Structure 1
Amino acid sequence: MPAEAPRGRVVVLSPHPDDAVWSLGSGLVPWAGGRQIVLLSLFAGDAGPAIARAHASEQRWRCFASPGQRRQEDQRAAALLGCACSSLGAQDAALRLDGHGEFLHASPQSLFLTPDPAAWPEPDPGLLQRLRGCLRPQDVLCAPLAIGAHVDHCLTHRLARALDHRLFFYSDFPYVEQCSPQRELEHMQALGLRLRPRDIACSWSRWREAALCYRSQVLMLFGSQGRFLDALKRHSRAQGERAFCRIWSTRAM
């Protein structure tokens, strides 16, 4: 990354606790080049009264772990990587309510939008204002490409592109695992982006250790630690102690 004056932070926008660390791992540190790294989770706020209903057996998919527990997992992972950690405080889509006090999304499938970015919802202006308040003019941002079209990932992507900061992108794990390289490029084209990849060599053991801090989500999404690590190893292209973090840029690095 080119030098900046004054030197800004690297702020990684993570839709939820786990997304940034799972996707980028220990590659964040060499990429940041000595800048402070802040992991900022957008949709990690407390659920209020909805949390009680989310623990009902038929609603268990909404909240395998409380938002507070997920933020604690995020803090442990950030500490292992030497990063700061914060939350914007908005609620996870699975826990958001409509104007009648009912859950906004009826099923896990309804959390996923059409792949066409033109059909994605506009972010709430108040949320954009809160995000601006967390940033400094010199900050460099890294945001998800919203591969998989989870609604919170789509909103995070659109929020990032509404800002004036220099912006980089990452491919969302685990959703990118279900996407061929050709489909990944087609997704970027649909977003109106012409991006260049940069692969950063990093430590597999540090990535693995930090990723496993999100134990609640490992078990919910993968069922076992072994299946999770197999997928993460493919994503990071780990061989022995060496892994690779890929970051996408609209400019030459």
Structure 2
Amino acid sequence: MPSEAGNGRVVVLSPHPDDGVWSLGSGLARWAPRQEIELLSLFAGDAPAGLTRARAPEQRWRCFSTPGQRRAEDRRAAAVLGYGCSNLEAADGALRLDQGGGFAHASLQSLFLDSAPGSWPAPEAALVAALQGFLRPQDVVCAPLAIGGHVDHCLTHRLARELPNRVYFYSEFPYAEQLSQQALQGHVRALGLQLQARDIACSWPAWREAALCYRSQVLMLFAGQGRFLQALQRHCRVQGDTAFCRIWSTRAM
């Protein structure tokens, strides 16, 4: 439990709606039972110009549902878990435009970066200011480990590392499914971190109900509920009605 939070919140930095809930589920309420928990999506803004360009047939991979629909899914999931829900309104990497009006990332593959943090882009000043304005000094932050290298996850991780707040980390579902334990340890070392993991027993039915609120992403990434739930059960190591949420710390918790 993050005792240093005092009267502060636990703020989950979720690159997109779904990342925080899919990865951490109902575990945060057990980990921090006396703290207010806030899901904060960084890259869930409306991006009207990007949406217009994404209607072209060859660009449909960029947007299976609108940002507004995804934010609504996030609010429903947060309500299931009793968490707050906010959005910093930056555009999803797939919908971001460059200064010339073209897509900042030309292909799906270009959304995924090298694993070396030194090669990652710097967050825009406006996003840094928005995050700093949202956080309170006593808030504790839970941030992604940028597993998989999606540009928005890398930006979120880099932002978290620059904060004065106490930061914990989580491994992102479904990207973490692709890594062996050895590969995960190598990824953490590449980030320059020495982490300790803690597993928190929590409610599988609540995690499942909240996770299924993100219907658009379940269909886009897994083509159906059955395959999605099988993968999620592996991620949170379900035993009966109990799931396990893993949170990483740079010191003993």
When the two structures are superposed, what TM-score results if normalisation uses the length of structure 1?
Answer: 0.98
1:122-169 superposed Cα distances (whole Å, 9 cap, x missing partner): 111221111000000000000000000000000000001111000000
Identity percentage of aligned residues: 69
1:16 and 2:13 equivalent? no
Partner of 1:92: 92
Q: CA deviation at 1:224?
A: 1.1
1:131 and 2:131 equivalent? yes
Letter in 2 for 1:229: L
CA distance in 1, matches of 2:50, 2:14: 23
CA distance in 1, matches of 2:193, 2:222: 31
SS at match of 2:48: coil
CA distance in 1, matches of 2:184, 2:222: 22
CA distance in 2, matches of 1:69, 1:9: 26
Structure 1 unmatched ranges of 5 or more = none
CA distance in 2, matches of 1:241, 1:65: 31
CA distance in 1, matches of 2:177, 2:17: 19
Partner of 1:80: 80
Partner of 1:220: 220
- Relative distance call for 1:97 and 1:200 in structure 2 (3 A) is same
CA distance in 2, matches of 1:29, 1:182: 29
Residues 1-253 of structure 1: matches in 2 within 5 Å?
1-4=1-4, 6-253=6-253
Q: CA deviation at 1:2?
A: 4.8
Q: CA deviation at 1:110?
A: 0.7
SS at match of 1:93: coil
Letter in 2 for 1:243: A
CA distance in 1, matches of 2:213, 2:16: 14
- Relative distance call for 1:5 and 1:94 in structure 2 (3 A) is closer
- Relative distance call for 1:103 and 1:197 in structure 2 (3 A) is same
Letter in 2 for 1:149: G
- Relative distance call for 1:67 and 1:202 in structure 2 (3 A) is same
CA distance in 2, matches of 1:169, 1:196: 10
Runs of 4+ residues deviating >4 angstroms: none
Q: CA deviation at 1:56?
A: 2.4
Structure 2 unmatched ranges of 5 or more = none
CA distance in 1, matches of 2:38, 2:245: 17
Letter in 2 for 1:217: Q
Q: CA deviation at 1:4?
A: 3.8
Q: CA deviation at 1:107?
A: 1.1
The two structures, once aligned, show a CA RMSD in angstroms of 1.0
Q: For structure 1, which segment, 79-88 or 100-109, has the greater mean C-alpha deviation from structure 2 after superposition?
A: 100-109
When the two structures are superposed, what TM-score results if normalisation uses the length of structure 2?
Answer: 0.98
Letter in 1 for 2:169: F
CA distance in 2, matches of 1:2, 1:69: 32
